[in-house]
Amino acid sequence: MQKTLSSGIYPPLPTFFDAQEDLDLATLQRHIRRLANTGIAGYVLMGSNGEAVHLTDEERAQVLSVARETLTELGSEQPIVAGCGAQSTRATIALATQAAQYGADFALILPPSYYKGRMDTRALIHHFQVVADESPLPVVIYNMPASAAGIDLDAETIATLSEHPNIVGVKDSSGNVIKLARLVSMVKPTFRIFAGSADFLLPTLVAGGVGAVAALANVFPRTVCHLQELYAQQKLEEARILQARIIPANAAVTSRFGIAGLKAALENVVGYGGRPRLPLQPLTPQEAQKLQEILSAMPQENE
């Protein structure tokens, strides 16, 4: 029987590094343990926030192995969604195969974009279908134009791909809620549609989506989960107010300050985070001060 992604919030975990830019697996374990009982549905590893493009194959295996071991120690059945996108179909299948070997439950696939001019609908559909044919893991489409040279999969393309028995959902970071609403009407109910950011979580839920892969949930997991709970309880006015309140902090750890902002926010709120790998730079003192001001406006969470 095919695995199905549960509704809810999936933090895209950072990959932590020490002062020498080597993997800091102890901090990864600490982060997973912190998140485990906050209401999240699962974990995304080695996505954009996980600096997947900065990792070797060996490092990818280490990250997945430690994550799976940590969840096993916790007695947790929360799924791991592993970023497996690559620039060739062959390499994508290899990453999905490796992810399955080291404990992932789903493969998150970003469209190949290096040869953007040749990545028309026909090429992209064929790519995803071949990957899904060969992947030992169920495939989740990762539509993120900002990380794919502007490639933005439309509703018709995603709906076509949803017909493949091994393609089970989509994380859409385009922010086009009209497209998501159309997509809901075009796919079977078992196909899972997730917002790619917390700043349009509520509109996605209203449109028929089932949750979000939200960077902000690394820092404020209970708050992001609470927004979905308010919607489920039909407390729409409270949900609307909370949605508006989290937008500045979400923007700060995504589009405004990026991965360095996410790691700085973790450092600020929970005491760990570290730096991104070069060539990404840490925040300037001015940026760090602005980030702290934004974070101070967020609701406090009870750890």
For the record, the structure tokens of 30 come out as 């600490």
> Do residues 179 and 154 lie in contact, with contact meaning Cβ atoms separated by under 8 Å?
yes
Q: What angle do CA 50, 98, 216 make, to 5 degrees?
A: 20
Determine how many CB atoms are found less than 10 A away from the CB of residue 176: 17
DSSP assignment letter at 269: H
CB-based contacts of 129: which residues, under 8 Å, 6+ apart? 161, 164
Radius of gyration in angstroms for the set of CA atoms belonging to the chain, rounded to a whole number: 18
Determine how many CB atoms are found less than 10 A away from the CB of residue 115: 11
Rounded-to-10 torsion of CA 286, 32, 12, 110: 130
> Do residues 107 and 116 lie in contact, with contact meaning Cβ atoms separated by under 8 Å?
no
Strands annotated E in 209-273: 211-213
Centroid of chain to Cα 74? 22
Q: Is position 290 annotated as part of the catalytic site?
A: no
> Do residues 226 and 22 lie in contact, with contact meaning Cβ atoms separated by under 8 Å?
no
- Taking the C-alpha atoms of residue 45 and residue 29, their distance in angstroms, rounded to an integer, is 12
Which of 171, 179, 235, 290 is labelled catalytic?
Answer: 171
Q: Which residues are catalytic?
A: 171
